[in-house]
Amino acid sequence: MNKVYLIGNLTRDPEMRSTQSGVNVCNFSIAVNRRFRNPQTGQQETDFFNIVAWRQLADLCGRYLTKGRKVAVVGSIQTRTYEAQDGSKRNAFDIVADEVEFLSAGQGNAASGEYHAAPAAAPAPRAQAPAYAPADSGFTQVDDDELPF
């Protein structure tokens, strides 16, 4: 199974392009902090991943993502080989995105890490909360006759 889940911040603005057959592709990279700090230096270590999105997902990423935005990416690892300028062969690893979820609103300053979430929708009014649950618990009373099992 080849499945990757990553959450990180964009390190640069996405680059949009099209193949010769007209298929849209979007490339961007994200920085992902490791779970633990380096025990010798105490510094947070970061890994950088190249992400490739295709077709409609590429359109959405190119339109709405900017440097500094936090995203969750679900995809698969793809390896490629290329020849460097010095003539040596190199391997590169890309994440081909199946899903990209935009986690930050992108309204803040990317350099300072300041982000503002979108305002939450006002809760819908309820007729009456159950006696055993607080008014803001999100539960509604359901009769046993309404249950499908």
Q: Is the pLDDT of residue 68 over 90?
A: yes
Looking at the domain assignment, is residue 77 inside a domain? yes
Percent of the chain past pLDDT 90, that is, above it, reads: 62
Question: Three-class SS of residue 140?
Answer: coil
Residues 6+ away with beta carbon under 8 Å from 122: none
Q: Is the pLDDT of residue 45 over 70?
A: yes
Number of domains in the chain: 1
The confidence band for 148, taking pLDDT boundaries of 50, 70 and 90, is low
More confident residue, 138 or 9: 9
Q: Torsion angle of alpha carbons 52, 110, 7, 50, nearest 10°?
A: 30
Looking at the domain assignment, is residue 139 inside a domain? no
Mean pLDDT across the stretch 52-73? 96
CATH number of the domain encompassing residue 61: 2.40.50.140
Give pLDDT tens digits for 104-129: 875 544 444 444 334 334 444 444 44
